[in-house]
Amino acid sequence: MVSEPELRETGRTTEAARPPRRRRRSVATMVAVLVALAAATAYGGWYGSDQGIKVVHWGTGDTTVLAVAGDVVTLTDSPQARRRGTYWLEWSGAHTMLGDVVTEAPGKVERAILGGSVPSAGTSGDLTAVPPGDPKVTFGLDFSEFTIATELGPAPAWYVPAKGSTWFIAVHGQNGRRKAELKALPVVHRLGMPFMAITYRNDEGAPASPDGLIHLGDSEWRDLEAAVRAARDRGARRVVLYGTSMGGVIAARFLDRSPLADLVSALVMDSSESDWERVAEWNAERLHMPAVFGRLANRISEWRTGIDVDRLNMITHPPAARPPTLLFAAGADTQVPVQELRDLAAAGKRLNWPIRYEEFPGADHTEPWNTDRARYESLLAAFLTPFAAPAR
């Protein structure tokens, strides 16, 4: 029989054992919450990173290029691919005229290439019975297509000829298409400047980057360098660069790193990011998340691509060559904080970088032209006129 003192002692022992169990449950709960928060943070950071560097081909079509050998393209098998006759493969504003079927095999169809751009393996596109849109269709201007030899392989370009020796080279933005750059074409052509709209790595019809990711301009500038070299080889004595969104970053990195930068007379940027860190933080806050998620997204992007986001900042690391620049800003930009571009323009004098800033109230990202075409074209024409004269 247990004595009363022993019962009291046993009770004390039992009660004393309860707090540690409660503490253990509390610790386990806290650990679970921390793990969940860490997982959510990592997911948010990775998602944010994808928004910056993941390749997205909008409006990919009904067939995929499996291989290209000489004047024969191999497509995935489909009823469209097996149609007899002459058709077009269209992607991202580029096109290839295809002749009749050469051979058929399980899962693939080979067709002859008759003309146009030559797509790279992996290109997705639409087989169409009607000619695709192009500068001729859009503005009634004759054009040609030629291939630029980049370090990764051939990349197609549109070329609208003119008599001048200063070429206008247009660079589209992140996951964009070269047809977006046609808005500048009427002004450029009236001024007698040859016009070239390029593609670069990861575009439809152009080679993929080795890691299959966007590098925010840090490597894409080398494809612009190949385009400038191609223009020089075709008679260009000077060039004007035109970049929308990330295309402006690409142009700035070219001006910083390319030995061909001294060929550039002027630069036009439209809604271009000047500070990727600030863009990421601002977009995180716009989505009602802490700015730290934006910084984390950039750190993940750096880890995935090997780039240094800070080195792409145009204020703290301005390009080595700083030609006269026209900066169009969208006052209601939902992708790039307009204050970022205001700050870049304000820093121009300190950086010995002549920047003319023009803001379009109510315009969204890369849409100043759409908001007020007359003003946009007037400003662009006035800026370009001194550079359009034949180079001496």
**Domains of the chain with CATH codes:** 63-128 (2.40.10), 135-388 (3.40.50.1820)
Q: What are phi and psi of 359, to 5 degrees?
A: -105, 140
Give 272-322 pLDDT, tens digit per residue.
Answer: 999 999 999 988 888 888 888 888 888 888 999 999 999 999 999 999 999
pLDDT band at 1 (very low <50, low <70, confident <90, very high): low
| Across 13-27, 57-71, 144-158, least confident range | 13-27
Whether 18 shows a pLDDT value over 80: the answer reads: no
Higher per-residue confidence, 149 vs 37: 149
**Mean pLDDT, the chain, whole residue set:** 86
The separation between the first and the last C-alpha atoms of the chain, rounded to the nearest angstrom, is 116
pLDDT at 224: 98
| Across 60-69, 158-167, 295-304, least confident range | 60-69
Would you tell me how many other CB atoms lie within 10 Å of the CB of residue 16? Answer: 9
Q: What is the DSSP string of 279-336?
A: HHHHHHHHTTS-HHHHHHHHHHHHHHH---GGGG-TTTS--S----EEEEEETT-SSS
pLDDT band at 26 (very low <50, low <70, confident <90, very high): low
Burial (0-12, 13-18, 19+ Cβ within 10 Å), 26: exposed
Residue range 119-136: average pLDDT?
A: 75
Task: Give me the residues paired with residue 330 across strands.
Answer: 360
> Side-chain half-sphere of 345: how many Cα atoms within 13 Å?
20
Classify 231 as helix, strand or coil.
helix
Residue 123 CB contacts under 8 Å (≥ 6 apart), including other chains: 64, 65, 91, 204, 205
Cα–Cα dist 346/336, whole Å: 17
Cα–Cα dist 88/109, whole Å: 15
Higher per-residue confidence, 363 vs 251: 251
- Residue % of the chain over a pLDDT of 70: 84
pLDDT band at 270 (very low <50, low <70, confident <90, very high): very high
Residue range 29-47: average pLDDT?
A: 55
Instruction: Single out the residue of 174, 69, 277, 219 nearest to residue 211, CA to CA.
Output: 219
Whether 211 shows a pLDDT value over 90: the answer reads: yes
| Across 105-109, 229-233, 254-258, 288-292, least confident range | 288-292
pLDDT at 7: 46
Residue range 226-250: average pLDDT?
A: 97
Buried b vs exposed e over 342-352: b needs ≥16 C-beta within 10 Å?
Answer: eebbebbeeee
Q: H or E stretch including 14?
A: helix 4-53
Q: What are phi and psi of 41, to 5 degrees?
A: -65, -45
| Across 22-36, 123-137, 217-231, 300-314, least confident range | 22-36
User: Tokens 């994808």 correspond to what residue?
Assistant: 50
Q: How far is CA 171 from CA 81, 102, 337, 387, in A?
A: 32, 36, 21, 19
Residue range 332-346: average pLDDT?
A: 96
Most confident of 4-13, 95-104, 224-233, 278-287: 224-233
Residue range 183-188: average pLDDT?
A: 94
Structural contact between residues 31 and 39, judged by C-beta atoms closer than 8 angstroms: no
Whether 342 shows a pLDDT value over 80: the answer reads: yes
Cα–Cα dist 326/375, whole Å: 14
pLDDT band at 46 (very low <50, low <70, confident <90, very high): low
User: Tokens 């950086």 correspond to what residue?
Assistant: 351
Residue 305 CB contacts under 8 Å (≥ 6 apart), including other chains: 53, 211, 213, 214, 215, 216, 218
Q: What are phi and psi of 351, to 5 degrees?
A: -90, 0
Most confident of 16-30, 35-49, 61-75, 117-131: 61-75
